[in-house]
């Protein structure tokens, strides 16, 4: 069989590979949502929409979520770069550098 559009003719059905792919996808989505929530929180802080208590609570929550993401990546042996899906001409899903916001 030949490849169709760069797609291999067979799907890798090795359990370890399938599990790693699924974990990578799930953690990528969680990281995307975490970054979106962080950006929204920063916009609300800048706009003055939040009380000091709300700012403190959001900051703590985002910090704990980031720590948990680090733990999950370490547990599954993934790097932050592996969670950044390449969308071809659109670039990458997540900023390559946290300062690229």
SS3 59: helix
Q: What is the pLDDT of residues 24-63, one digit of tens each?
A: 999 999 989 988 999 999 999 999 989 999 999 999 999 9
Higher pLDDT residue, 96 or 82?
Answer: 82
Residue 86 forms beta bridges with which residues? 92
* Cα dist from 84 to 15, 28, 44, 61, whole Å: 22, 7, 26, 23
* Separation between Cα atoms, residue 38 and residue 44, nearest integer Å: 10
What is the band of 101 on the pLDDT scale with cuts at 50, 70, 90?
very low
Contact 38, 95 (CB under 8 A): no
SS3 61: helix
Mean pLDDT of the chain: 84
Higher pLDDT residue, 56 or 1?
Answer: 56
What is the band of 21 on the pLDDT scale with cuts at 50, 70, 90?
confident
The pLDDT score that the predictor gives to residue 48 is 94
What is the band of 78 on the pLDDT scale with cuts at 50, 70, 90?
very high
Q: Which helix (H) or strand (E) element contains residue 2?
A: none
Predicted TM-score (pTM) of the model is 0.70
The pLDDT score that the predictor gives to residue 1 is 46
């Amino acid at each position: 069989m030949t490849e169709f559009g760069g797609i291999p003719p067979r799907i890798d059905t090795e359990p370890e590979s399938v599990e790693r792919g699924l974990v990578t996808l799930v953690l990528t989505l969680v990281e995307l949502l975490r970054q979106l929530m962080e950006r929204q929180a920063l916009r609300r802080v800048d706009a003055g929409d939040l009380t000091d208590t709300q700012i403190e609570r959001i900051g703590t929550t985002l910090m704990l979520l980031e720590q948990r993401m680090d733990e999950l990546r370490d547990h599954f042996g993934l790097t932050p770069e592996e969670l950044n899906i390449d969308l071809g001409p659109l670039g990458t899903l997540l900023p390559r550098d946290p300062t690229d916001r």
